Chain A
Amino acid sequence: GQQLNQSPQSMFIQEGEDVSMNCTSSSIFNTWLWYKQDPGEGPVLLIALYKAGELTSNGRLTAQFGITRKDSFLNISASIPSDVGIYFCAGRTTGTASKLTFGTGTRLQVTL
């Protein structure tokens, strides 16, 4: 089955630094989503993108829907300790109902 390539796999950063992660696919998606998962919890939606080229922010988070529709980027500015967790991208194509294809995740650890 298809999986999205997400990078980096993990990163250690210092509090206050900016973070960037991305997701690429060999297929086109019509929706790109970014989720965060805390230990022992289910994924929680951070940002949803519905249009190629769209740039959307949610507080310190900014995500972009790549113009080719085959990639997406998530940036976190001025990271804080509670940003620790695993970040997943997910793509969905039109007409596939609730079928999401998930990336392999980026594990973020923030040091003081």
Chain B
Amino acid sequence: NAGVTQTPKFQVLKTGQSMTLQCAQDMNHEYMSWYRQDPGMGLRLIHYSVGAGITDQGEVPNGYNVSRSTTEDFPLRLLSAAPSQTSVYFCASRAGGNTEAFFGQGTRLTVV
């Protein structure tokens, strides 16, 4: 039972570098989301998708891009990393209707 798999678990970037955080789910869930978690702030929604080919912005989308070419994958791209993007990133997925989200184990990103 893989559930929601995020890679990498840890990453250090230099300011200005780009990278992609990977998220894959094997539960055939329609909905997928990316959150960031910062101390004392809970989880904040970055981007979400309600199905393949459909994405939308969440609460804190600036500096991040997403795409959803398949049901299984929902990568998060940082085009030019900034220290303010140092955070723990969580991907989540859920089926439709009144079902709740499963979260991945997170990616801890540090931008220096």
Whether B32 sits at the interface, judged by CB under 8 Å, is yes
Interface size grouping (class) on chain A: 20 to 34
Interface string of A76-106 (1 = CB under 8 A from B): 0000000000001010000001111111110
- Summarize B's interface: helix, strand, loop or mixed: strand
Whether A56 sits at the interface, judged by CB under 8 Å, is no
State the interface size on chain B (CB cutoff 8 A): 27
In the complex, the chain A residue whose C-beta lies closest to that of B90 is A42
A31:B48 contact, CB within 8 angstroms: no
B90:A98 contact, CB within 8 angstroms: no
A102:B44 contact, CB within 8 angstroms: yes
B residues whose Cβ falls under 8 Å from a Cβ of A: 4, 31-33, 35, 40-45, 48, 50, 58-60, 90, 92, 94, 98, 100-106
